[in-house]
Amino acid sequence: MINKKQVLLEQIKADILNKNICPDLAREATNLVMGDGNIDADIVLIGEAPGKNEDEQGLPFVGASGKFLDTMLEGAGIKRSDVYITNIVKYRPPNNRDPLPEEKAAFWPYLVRQLDVIQPKIVVTLGRHSMEYFLPDRKISEIHGQPKRIPFGQSKIVVVPLYHPAAALYNGGMRTTLIEDFNKLLKIIEIINKETFAVRRKENT
């Protein structure tokens, strides 16, 4: 059976290719890395941009930081196959340099469309590059691990900003903090579910 969400996500990919978004990155890249995982996920994780392994395989977070991410998800009781993972920039920047502001801006509308299709309960930003679009002018060191409900299109969305696994991989303190923050995610969803239930009950009385 054709899945409507799958069709819409394929359309987003086709639009990026047809509109030739970030042609300089596209020319150097092996793959457009759209995302991977469960399209009905409660959690969407958003990284920065594909690295070498991701570019080669066409999948997000499959290199060293991906392995660390897998370990943290597992430790938090979350299956990787239950979440959806993507990046703000969907082509690998040369030599893994930081994505440029214009590259992030060019891909942002497509990320918004992906979230509109998937409709997750929470969006987990990994690192400042994806955080700054949802929570501009905030410092990750001050708000990491804290759920923030923000306006998003016609409705609202809960964003949980976390450190980037690559930054935390070899930094003991940040690593512990990131693991602790991952361990909060299921609790945050539980609270959102309770709130939604309470609002629905109120609406029905």
Q: Give the residues lining the site for ligand URA (CB under 6 A).
A: 47-51, 54, 60-61, 63, 65, 87, 166
Which residue has the CB atom at the shortest distance from ligand URA?
47
- Rounded Cα distance between 35 and 29, Å, is 15
How far is it, in rounded angstroms, from Cα 134 to Cα 137?
A: 10
| Cα–Cα distance for residue pair 142/153, rounded to 1 Å | 26
- C-alpha–C-alpha distance, residues 44 and 40, integer Å: 10
* Contacting residues for 197 by C-beta, under 8 A, at least 6 apart: none
Q: Which is nearer to ligand URA, 21 or 128 (CB)?
A: 128
Residue closer to ligand URA (CB basis): 132 or 192: 132
In the bound state with ligand URA, the residue whose beta carbon lies nearer, of 74 and 190, is: 74
Least distance CB 197 / ligand URA (angstroms)? 34
Token pair in block for residue 12: 């987003």
Considering the complex, what minimum distance in angstroms separates the CB of residue 169 from ligand URA? 10
Q: Residue 34 CB, nearest distance to ligand URA (Å)?
A: 11
Residue 47 or residue 120: which is nearer to ligand URA going by CB?
47
Nearest approach in angstroms of CB 53 to ligand URA is 8
Tally the residues of the chain: 205
Q: Which secondary structure element, helix H or strand E, spans residue 170, and what is its range?
A: none
Q: How many CB atoms lie within 10 A of CB 35?
A: 22
For the CB of residue 133, give the shortest distance to ligand URA in the complex, in Å.
14
Q: Locate tokens 């929470």: which residue?
A: 122
Question: Which residue, 12 or 168, is less far from ligand URA as judged by CB?
Answer: 168
SS3 assignment, position 82: helix
Q: Taking the complex as a whole, how short is the minimal distance between the CB of residue 131 and ligand URA, in angstroms?
A: 12
Beta bridge partners of 84: 37, 44
Nearer to ligand URA, 2 or 170 (CB): 170
43-47 and 148-152: which strand pairing?
A: unpaired
